[in-house]
Structure 1
């Protein structure tokens, strides 16, 4: 992960900002409760909150009060944020492909995906 982060191809967003945008892009309606977002990234809650605030100032995400719980916040990826995410994702995928290449066979990739999905489902 350190080497992939070190080779991260964007100067517009950081690797951690990309991670937040990636998780939002996969969520229904491109939005998550802040506490749910915290469970999906490798940052502390205060760090995620500051990062979200920075992304909001730049227009890449919006924060809304959660209508089901006024104490909570919903974080939504804006259209501008999604377009930036997609652009960076293509470059980032090239970096990952260069690093990993043909190291794993198709069967091994399928197995790795299944294992990661299983681990992700265990929270």
Structure 2
């Protein structure tokens, strides 16, 4: 393959990945369940729910969501005001702040999560076979891993 053809293939593959992600996310976020909590807010709740200790530092949370530091700080303030998350000071670092879900936050994350998973399954199963989903999982993991080692 020529350099120009390789360059074109690379950019076409990237653009296809990006446009697919945008189309899928737009479709998923049209679900009525996201009227209760925005998709970015849900992303914060979801990431906190996955944390083994139940608590994350703000910078750790920021590593897992597509928001800037000032945006995530404002979102944390809003979610705290709604009673969905709480803050605490870690015992070993009085200057640090940990963020965790409240009981209400856990309940909302589970409620939205169940509906979101149903919508994901409906969309993915209509488009891909199990074998294709495994291939997609392998390819996206490989791409993510290559970025992580840079």
Return the alpha-carbon distance in structure 2 between the equivalents of residues 33 and 78 of structure 1. Answer: 16
**Which deviates further from its counterpart, 69-78 or 82-91?**
69-78
* Alignment-derived partner of residue 98 in structure 1: 122
- 32-41 or 112-121: which moved more? 112-121
Residue 148 of structure 2 corresponds to: 122
TM-score, scaled relative to structure 1: 0.84
Are 1:109 and 2:133 matched, yes or no? yes
Given candidates 81, 86, 95, the residue that maps to 2:110 is 86
> Number of paired residues?
123
Residues 33, 72 of structure 1: 8 Å contact kept:
yes
Aligned residue among 35, 58, 64 for 1:34:
58
Cross-structure match for 1:44: 68
Which range moves more in the overlay, 35-44 or 94-103?
94-103
Alpha-carbon distance in 2 for matches of 1:24, 1:107: 31
Larger RCO: Structure 1 or Structure 2 (Cα < 8 Å, ≥ 6 residues apart)? 1
The answer to whether the Cα contact below 8 Å between 1:24 and 1:77 also exists between their aligned partners in 2 is: yes
Of Structure 1 and Structure 2, the greater helix share is in 2
Cα distance 1:112–1:70, how it changes in 2: closer, same or farther (>3 A)?
farther
The RMSD of aligned alpha carbons is: 2.2
Is the aligned partner of 1:9 residue 2:46?
no
Q: How far is 1:57 from its partner?
A: 1.2
Is it true that 1:22 corresponds to 2:22 in the alignment?
no
- Give how far 1:100 is off: 2.5
- Alpha-carbon distance between aligned partners in 2 of 1:111 and 1:27, rounded to the nearest angstrom: 27
Separation in 2, partners of 1:101, 1:110: 12
Query: For the pair shown, which has the larger CA radius of gyration, 1 or 2?
Result: 2
CA offsets 1:66-100 (integer angstroms, 9 cap, x no match): 33333321110112111111111111122223333
Q: Give the stretch that moved more between structures: 53-62 or 15-24.
A: 53-62
